[in-house]
């Protein structure tokens, strides 16, 4: 129908505009003077066409135009309006169109905001960005056109996967994409700055804004995904080291490291090669993430369609970009950081360098854990899965030093520093050590490692908290983010130590009692809803203080397509979450139930929010300073 047709042609027009942009960029690159405004106009036109195309796709979803294959595959007339709209990017084709939209939007914003940079740098960045855009255009139009037509028109669609029908997940892809695609600007800009030998402290302060923008969105995107997994999938935790989660964590780690490197570059014009490599790594990891998840190499809830043609295309595209950036790096990068003698062992510079190495270590752990199973499968056809113990064992010991370094590092001054506030640092460490030994002793858990972990976490927490009261406005964003991180680690650790779980089978009228908690299944009711049938269990749970709460976990049997999902009933307050999820036991009247007591769950979410707030403050704050 009409919107589909408009969208299709608009997409093609957008693609064609890549050519004049390339043409004028090359012409203008050789000329002197100011940037040709034609480039900006064409970029705007390209953005406009994609926007029209994207809006058309949304309209097709809203009016349930099933002659459009994407709509047919992913929507249904009985779907609530909100999920019809969210369905636009809840599928492979639509999400790629969103990628394109954000790519063109960002390059346009880049052109508008980079007026103070030199002309050739702006043009070259546009060219690199346009190469990425061009690749995505070919990919979308050739292998995953969102406007493919089906004839005859089916009168009903196949439906959106019900586990994707969740408010957090509806906005998770766009937010995450803003983060990923923001990294593309950093990538293009780092490449062009390398070619032009433009990497300098002024470039660092210019590109910093983009790093913060994509970092904030990436952080929030991961947070939303994690919240969704907790509430919707009913896995009962916030992070599972699932490959799909890992591929979003890896660019985050690289980007976080990049932010710290840029600080050094800005202040001391050091670590140039680090910055270039990290800029390339961040975007490459974002792209690989998309590739691994979308091609179906990693089996997950995100796998939309296993079309090998698509996989090969992204793979080729990804590796051409990698090769291109490697060539540029090796041929043009003249910044040999041979001046390691410039690093005095006790200084902010060194502590930031240490931070880099730690982050790279964490990144490699995650990378190996995620990719090793794939490699092993290919090389020896052996299937293994890497679980949380691997990550915990490899990360926890290093976390100790990392946390201490993080507490002390920001206090050091540039170039050369002396130990200041020795007394307060040591006394704070003493306090944390006592506090955590007491806690660990009380909880009766494995002594040594837990005491150390907990005390370093407390130490960082106390130090970062104290920092708010000295030099209030100096580095406020760093203080907020580091405090958020300290709170995060502390919540995670305490949550880990204090959680408890009961798994049992019950039928109506029965109860479970272990002396601490009493669970009683009162009744089970069935309801018919718009697009699913719901089975609700009514539970009474009495805790040690004889306080009884009612829980109503739900099973949803969706009709289009037929999928059963468990909706956990989660009672959240500031201090703890109580989590109850049920499942059917085959061919019996019994329900399998999992009850979890999880302290400080909401603080994990809050702390991540605080971390991202730090980035936001930096954006707003540095704006005001200028």
Partner 1 sequence: MKNKIVPFLVFFFFIFIFFVFYKSLNQTNIYTPNVNLNKNIPEFEAKIFKSNESFSSKDFKLNEYYLINIWASWCAPCRLEHKYLLELNDINSLKMIGINYKDLKLNAENFLNDLGNPYDLILSDDNGKLSINWGAYGVPETFIVFNNKIVKKYTGPLNEINVQEIRKILSQ
Question: CB of 557: closest distance to partner 1 in angstroms?
Answer: 11
Least CB distance from residue 381 to partner 1, whole Å?
Answer: 9
Contacts of 563 (CB under 8 A, 6+ apart): 161, 162, 163, 557
56 vs 328, beta carbon nearer partner 1: 328
Q: How far is the CB of 375 from partner 1 (least distance, A)?
A: 5
Cis bond before residue 211 (omega within 30° of 0): no
| Displacement of CA 216 from its chain's centroid (Å) | 9
Residue with smaller CB distance to partner 1, 322 or 431: 322
CB of 67 to partner 1, least distance (A): 11
Give whichever of 372 and 438 is closer to partner 1, judged by the CB atom: 372
CB of 311 to partner 1, least distance (A): 4
Please, are residues 58 and 88 in contact by the beta-carbon 8 Å criterion? yes
Q: Contact at 8 Å (CB) between 84 and 560?
A: no
The helix/strand/coil state of 196 is coil
| Nearer residue to partner 1 within complex by CB, 292 or 439 | 292
How many other C-beta atoms are found inside a 10 Å radius of the C-beta of residue 172?
Answer: 25
What is the C-alpha end-to-end distance of the chain, expressed in Å?
A: 50
CA dist., res. 576 & res. 567, Å (int): 19
Give whichever of 156 and 501 is closer to partner 1, judged by the CB atom: 156
At its nearest, how many Å lie between partner 1 and the CB of residue 72?
7
Exposed e or buried b per residue across 512-533, where buried means at least 16 C-beta atoms within 10 angstroms of its C-beta: beeeebbbbbeeeeeeeeebbe
Q: Which of 39/363 has CB closer to partner 1?
A: 363
Closer of 420 and 562 to partner 1 (Cβ): 562
The C-alpha atoms of residue 378 and residue 374 are separated, in whole angstroms, by 6
Nearer to partner 1 by Cβ, of 306 and 548: the residue is 306
The nearer residue to partner 1, 242 or 467, going by C-beta atoms, is: 242
Nearer to partner 1, 430 or 561 (CB): 561
Q: Which residues share a beta bridge with 541?
A: 519, 549
| DSSP per-residue letters across 483-520 | HHHHHHHHHHHHHHHH-EEEEEEE-TT-EEE-SS-EEE
* CA atoms within 13 A of residue 395's CA, in its CB half-sphere: 17
The nearer residue to partner 1, 71 or 412, going by C-beta atoms, is 71
Residue 380 buriedness (CB in 10 A; 0-12 / 13-18 / 19+): exposed
Q: Which residues of 182-198 are buried (b: 16+ CB within 10 A; e: fewer)?
A: bbbbbbbbbbbbbbeeb
Smallest distance, partner 1 to C-beta of residue 193, A: 20
Burial class (CB in 10 A: 0-12, 13-18, 19+), 447: exposed
User: What secondary structure letter does DSSP report for 153?
Assistant: P
Q: Which residues bind partner 1 (CB under 8 A)?
A: 69, 72, 150, 154-156, 158, 291, 295-297, 299, 306, 308, 311-312, 315, 319, 322-323, 326, 330, 374-375, 377-379, 561-562
Helix (H, G, I), strand (E, B) or coil at 584: strand
Nearest approach, Cβ of residue 386 and partner 1 (Å): 16
CB 596 within 8 A of CB 499: yes
Handedness of CA 490, 494, 495, 496 (dihedral sign): positive
């Amino acid at each position: 129908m009409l919107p589909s047709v408009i969208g299709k042609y608009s997409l093609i027009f957008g693609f064609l505009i890549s050519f004049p942009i390339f043409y004028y960029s090359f012409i203008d690159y050789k000329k002197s003077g100011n940037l040709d405004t034609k480039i900006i106009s064409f970029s705007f036109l390209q953005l406009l066409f994609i926007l029209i195309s994207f809006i058309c796709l949304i309209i097709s979803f809203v009016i349930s135009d099933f002659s459009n294959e994407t709509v047919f595959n992913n929507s249904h007339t009985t779907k609530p309006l909100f999920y019809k709209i969210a369905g636009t990017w809840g599928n492979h084709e639509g999400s790629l169109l969103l990628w394109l939209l954000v790519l063109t939007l960002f390059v346009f914003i880049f052109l508008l905001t980079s007026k103070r940079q030199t002309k050739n740098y702006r043009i070259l960045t546009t060219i690199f960005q346009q190469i990425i855009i061009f690749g995505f255009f070919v990919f979308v139009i050739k292998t995953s056109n969102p406007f493919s037509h089906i004839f005859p028109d089916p009168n009903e669609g196949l439906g959106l996967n019900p586990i994707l029908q969740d408010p957090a997940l509806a906005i998770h892809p766009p937010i995450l994409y803003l983060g990923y695609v923001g990294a593309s600007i950093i990538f293009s800009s780092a490449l062009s700055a390398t070619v032009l030998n433009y990497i300098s402290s002024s470039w660092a302060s210019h590109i910093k804004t983009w790093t913060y923008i994509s970092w904030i969105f990436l952080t929030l995107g991961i947070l939303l995904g994690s919240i969704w997994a907790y509430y919707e999938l009913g896995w009962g935790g916030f992070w599972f080291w699932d490959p799909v989660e890992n591929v979003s964590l890896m660019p985050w780690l690289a980007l976080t490291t990049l932010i710290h490197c840029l600080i050094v570059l800005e202040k001391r014009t050091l670590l140039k090669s680090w910055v270039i490599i990290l800029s390339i790594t961040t975007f490459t990891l974002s792209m690989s993430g998309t590739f691994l998840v979308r091609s179906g190499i990693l089996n997950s809830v995100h796998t939309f369609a296993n079309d090998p043609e698509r996989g090969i295309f992204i793979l080729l595209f990804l590796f051409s970009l990698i090769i291109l950036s490697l060539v540029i790096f090796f041929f043009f990068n003249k910044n040999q950081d041979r001046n390691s003698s410039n690093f005095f062992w006790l200084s902010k510079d060194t502590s930031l360098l240490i931070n880099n190495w730690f982050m790279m270590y964490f990144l490699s752990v995650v990378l190996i854990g995620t990719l090793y199973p794939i490699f092993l499968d290919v090389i020896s056809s052996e299937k293994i899965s890497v679980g949380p113990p691997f990550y915990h064992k490899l990360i926890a010991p290093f976390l100790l030093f990392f946390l201490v370094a993080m507490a002390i590092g920001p206090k050091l001054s540039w170039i050369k520093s002396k130990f200041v506030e020795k007394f307060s640092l040591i006394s704070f460490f003493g306090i944390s050590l006592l506090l955590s030994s007491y806690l660990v002793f009380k909880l009766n858990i494995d002594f040594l490692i837990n005491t150390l972990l907990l005390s370093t976490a407390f130490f960082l927490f106390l130090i970062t908290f104290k920092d708010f009261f000295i030099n209030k406005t100096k580095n406020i964003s760093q203080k907020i983010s580091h405090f958020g991180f300290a709170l995060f680690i502390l919540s995670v650790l305490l949550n880990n130590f204090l959680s408890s779980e009961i798994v049992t089978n019950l039928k109506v009228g029965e109860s479970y009692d272990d002396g601490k908690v009493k669970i009683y299944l009162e009744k089970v009711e069935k309801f018919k809803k718009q697009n699913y049938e719901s089975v609700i269990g009514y539970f009474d749970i009495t805790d040690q203080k004889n306080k009884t709460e009612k829980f109503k976990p739900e099973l949803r049997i969706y009709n289009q397509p037929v999928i059963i999902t468990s909706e956990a009933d989660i009672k959240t307050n500031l201090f703890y979450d109580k989590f109850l999820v049920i499942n059917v036991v085959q061919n019996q009247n019994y329900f399998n139930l999992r009850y979890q007591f999880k302290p400080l769950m909401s603080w994990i979410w809050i702390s991540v929010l605080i971390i991202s707030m730090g980035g936001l403050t930096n954006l707003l704050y540095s704006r005001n300073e200028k």
